[in-house]
Amino acid sequence: MVRGELSQSLRRAIESLGNLPRPQCDRTIRYPRRRCQLSTIRCISTSAPRHAELVNDTPEKFTAAPPINFEQQDAKGGKGGGKQLLRTLRVVPASPSYFSAKPTFTDDFISLQALLRKVATLPVVPPSEAPKVAWKTIDQYRIMTNEPVKTQRFHKMIHILRRLNCIHPSLMPEEVLQAMQRYKKASQPGDIKPKPGIIDELGRAKGVGRRKTSSAVAWLVEGEGEVLINGKSLTQFFGRLHDRESVVWALKATQRLDKYNVWGLTAGGGVTGQAEALTLAVAKALLVHEPALKPALRRAGCITRDPRKVERKKPGHVKARKMPTWVKR
């Protein structure tokens, strides 16, 4: 619950003392307000709020409620005095889930359910065609709300969100988009788009690839299957047949070996690393010429960069994992 909320409701309760015999929480007022404060951070913890890197919006400033002036209240309320007034005072939190362990989560969940009820009749697309969204993980959500949310409950909420995301994109209400924004990760898949490759005036397409500590650049032109790596022929540069096949694998797997010539430059690392860096470079250059080959190249394993590297040595170990030999005494 927002820190200000309790103090505000306290103040409001005291103000309403004069008007009402018994103060009650006014649902019609509170609900919309809570909804518009959804994006603010709420903490019930007395410890300092964690400004986690995952929470990008700043919590609102804490403002304590002004002290209750009983004399004034007495004068307004008339007979009874301060004691009488205190007896009638009952502080009601803004959210009905304030006394549950996870008020923010409960509020979120209920509001999403209400939203889904509202838009349930809108046409949907199958989940595979819905726009790809990276939802916050449960850990990120826990840090954001600072509440011990259970995994199962969180998954139920994500389920609702997925259903909301399946609404036909052309009919997607603005309200739903706003609500989903809270649960999305900061960066979404497809946010970073690489610059499209170009074929220059000489008909060359460039591709860059890396593997282990090797890096490679390949220029692909239309031709009849000639390959030069660092100015040498394939056989002079790579002694192993396997490495030679790795270099031209992207072309071989797509039956384009006799249609292109390759100029490659490679540096760093070892022989196999250089060959496999060239695989990626040639594949990327081929994609510039023929973008439609991407699925075929992905099936051939030429798109994904192999992220494996040499594991670092650790203190106390002989190598990355190896422990020193056990010695008696």
Partner 1 sequence: MPPSQCFPGFALLALDRAAHHSIASRSLLALPHTPRFSTSAPRYGPPPRKGMVAPPKRGTKTLNVKKGKSSPSRDTTKRPAPGDRKALRKRIVLSNNNALEVPTLQDLHKDTVLSGENEGLVKGLPEDVVDALRAVEAFKPTQGWRLFRRPAILMRKETTLLAALFREVEGTANGQAKMTVRKVLIGERMSGKSTMLLQGLTMAFMRDWVVVNLPDAKDITIAHTEYAPLPGSQPTQYTQDIYTANLLSQIAKANQSILGNLPVTTNHSLPIPLPSKSTLKQLAELAITNPEASWPIFVALWKELTQPGRPPIMLAIDNLSHIMRNSEYLSADVKPIHAHDLALVRHFVDRLAGKTPLPNGGMILAATSGSNAPTSPALDFSIQVAEARQLNPESIPQWNPYKNVDQRVMECLKDVGVLKVAGLTKAEARSIMEYYAASGMLRAQVTEPFVTEKWSLAGMGNIGELERVSVRLRV
Closer residue to partner 1 (CB): 113 or 235 = 235
Judged by CB under 8 A, which stretch of 65-73, 138-146, 179-187, 237-245 contacts partner 1?
Answer: 237-245
Interface residue with partner 1 among 152, 255, 304, 325 (CB under 8 A) is 255
Q: By CB under 8 A, which span of 64-72, 106-114, 192-200, 223-231 interacts with partner 1?
A: 223-231
Which residue in the set 241, 267, 320, 323 belongs to the binding site for partner 1 (CB under 8 A)?
Answer: 241
Among 93, 162, 199, 245, binds partner 1 (CB under 8 A): 245
* Interface with partner 1 (CB under 8 A), residue from 248, 278, 281, 302: 248
Interface with partner 1, residue 281, by CB under 8 A: no
**Residue of the chain from 3, 244, 284, 289 that contacts partner 1 (CB under 8 A):** 244
Output the smallest distance, CB 174 to partner 1, in A: 56
258 sits near partner 1 (criterion: CB under 8 A):
yes
Which regions of 107-259 does DSSP assign to beta strands (E)? 205-211, 214-222, 227-229, 232-233
In angstroms, give the least distance from the CB of 251 to partner 1: 8
Shortest separation between residue 245's beta carbon and partner 1, angstroms: 6
Interface with partner 1 (CB under 8 A), residue from 226, 267, 322, 323: 226
In terms of Cα–Cα distance, which of 154, 9, 207 is closest to 89?
9
Query: Are the beta carbons of 266 and 214 closer than 8 angstroms?
Result: yes
Applying CB under 8 A, the span of 94-102, 119-127, 248-256, 266-274 interacting with partner 1 comes to 248-256
**Joined tokens for residue 36:** 């518009």
**12-20, 152-160, 168-176, 226-234 -> range binding partner 1 (CB under 8 A):** 226-234
CB 41 within 8 A of CB 34: no
Which residues share a beta bridge with 256? none
**Ramachandran bin of 168, using left for φ above 0, alpha for ψ from -120 to 50, beta for the remaining angles:** beta
> From CA 97, how far away is CA 132, in angstroms rounded?
32
Tell me how far CA of residue 309 lies from CA of 210, 301, 328, in angstroms.
Answer: 11, 18, 35
CB of 249 to partner 1, least distance (A): 11
Query: Whole-number minimum distance, CB 210 to partner 1, in Å?
Result: 23
**In angstroms, what is the minimal distance from the CB of 232 to partner 1?**
9
227 makes contact with partner 1 (CB under 8 A): yes
Does 257 bind partner 1 (CB under 8 A)? Our answer is yes
Note whether 302 binds partner 1 by CB under 8 A: no
List b or e across 168-201, with b for residues whose CB sees 16 or more CB atoms inside 10 angstroms. Answer: eeeebeeebeebbebbeeeeeeeeeeeeeeeeee
Residues in the chain: 329
The angle at the Cα of 259, spanning 258 to 263, to the nearest 5 degrees, equals: 95
The size of the interface with partner 1 (CB under 8 A), counted in residues, is 16
Are 248 and 284 contacting, i.e. CB atoms less than 8 angstroms apart? no
DSSP 297: H
> Residue ranges of the alpha helices (H) in 45-190?
70-77, 81-88, 103-119, 138-145, 151-165, 174-181
Which residue has tokens 């239309």? Answer: 222
Residues that bind partner 1 (CB under 8 A): 224-227, 233-236, 241, 244-245, 248, 252, 255, 257-258
